Structure 1
Amino acid sequence: MIQCARQPGLAQIWEDILGFENCEFYIKRWPQLHGMQFEDILISFPDAIPCGIKVASCDGKIILNPEDSYVLQEDDEILVIAEDDDSYAPAALPTVWRGSLPKDFIGPKSAEKILFCGWRRDMEDMIMDFQL
């Protein structure tokens, strides 16, 4: 809720991802991707966005945004955001030209002024989120 107040449009993104219109989350096992690193899996789906792994060796624990070096194991499943469960499939790895970011990529933060209206019992936790 706090991040949605700070970043216009974020609430719409959450609604699109977690609602039942547009794209949704899907988990599926792709045997042809076993042994690949997650950084390669990220670019293997032209019609979906891989965002996590359901790790079989950890009793099905889902890891969101795993390390790029994570190697997909035999019974692991891939969590993606896609239009429909039959609208995506992995393709051959595309050629990617790696570049470098400018050194001054992160700009200085400017001061924010936020008005809280009303009170909740978890307000202290919300205020602590602002300090991050």
Structure 2
Amino acid sequence: MIGLLFGVLVWASLAQAQEVIWVRNGDWNEAHFGGLILPLGDQNDDGFADWAVFSGGSNDQPSGLDDRLNFFYGGNPPSQTPYLTFRPREGAEAPYMYNLTTIGDFNGDGYIDWVIGYFIPGLDSATFELYGGGGEC
């Protein structure tokens, strides 16, 4: 037991703290920024991994701000400004954008693709949209 404790203490003392390379908050109070993060691979062929971050809305959000999926380019340093933002489609009701996921390279173009699901009354309750990845998305 003492050897194990000593080993843990030595390992902990040798471990270095990782540098934080990206920090970003939501656009309003209780935006729930980061409730879901989707790795997207390299969408723009710059050699850096890109990602999407979901922000669920809240009851006290400012007018005009709602659920959204923001897409960011990786880099050194990574982008702070989204290059693309998806908002709920017209007619969608809560829960907006309730299913977000990457699905791999669905269309064989070399880029990771993604799916967004919505609840839309009158359209069999759920609608899913498939989007192709890549620099033109």
TM-score tier, shorter chain, comes to under 0.3
Q: What is the TM-score of this pair, normalised by structure 2?
A: 0.23
Larger relative contact order (Cα-Cα within 8 Å, sequence gap ≥ 6): 1
TM-score by length of 1: 0.23
Higher relative strand content: 2
